Amino acid sequence: MSEQSQTTSQSSFFNLHVEGVGYLNRVRTVKPKKGQEFLACTVAAMRGSTDDIAYTRFDCRVSGTEARKIVSLLEPEVTAEKTVLIGFKIADIYPELFTFEKGDKKGQAGVSIKGRLLRVKFAKVNGEVLELPQPARSSDSDSVPA
C-alpha cells in the first residue's frame, strides 16, 4: 500500500474540550425515536469571580464508560435534589437553537450549548467529597478543590 493511500485512510480530528467545576442537574435517560437510548445531564458550569459567580449551562450526552458509571451513581443524589458539585471535562460543544414551548418565554427563541460529558474528575454531594471510580491515569490537576 502506498504512503498516500495510508494517509487518506487515517482519520483526523480537532478536539475542543471545556474543563471546569459546576453543578450536575437533570440526569436522565433519553430515548430517541431513532437510534439507541443514552444517558444525558445538564452541567451548570461556574465562571467568573468567586464573589459574583456566573453560570453557563451545558446540555450533555454522557460519553465514556467511567463517566456513565459516575453519573449513574450520582443520579439518585440529583433526583433527591441534593447539591451535586462536579469537576468535569466536556468535549465537542456546539450551540443549538430552540423555541420555548411553555412558561414566560413561550414562543421565544433560545440557545442551548450541547456537548459530550467525557469525564467526572471529582464529586461533592451536599459538600461531602464522594469517592469515585477513576481511570488508571490521574494527575495533580484532578484533585478536589477545598
C-alpha pair distances (Å), 77 with each of 26, 27, 85, 105: 11, 10, 11, 29
pTM value is 0.80
CATH code, 15-131:
2.40.50.140
The burial of 62, by beta-carbon neighbours within 10 Å (0-12 exposed, 13-18 middle, 19 or more buried), is given as buried
- Return the biggest CA–CA distance within the chain: 62
pLDDT at residue 8, rounded to an integer: 55
Percent of the chain, pLDDT > 90? Answer: 76
pLDDT tens digit sequence for 44-96: 999 999 999 999 999 999 998 999 999 999 999 999 999 999 999 999 999 99
CA dihedral 116, 132, 122, 28 (to 10 degrees): 40
Quickly tell me which residue has 439507541 as its cell. 36
Residue 4: which pLDDT band, with cuts at 50, 70 and 90? low
Residue-level pLDDT at 3: 52
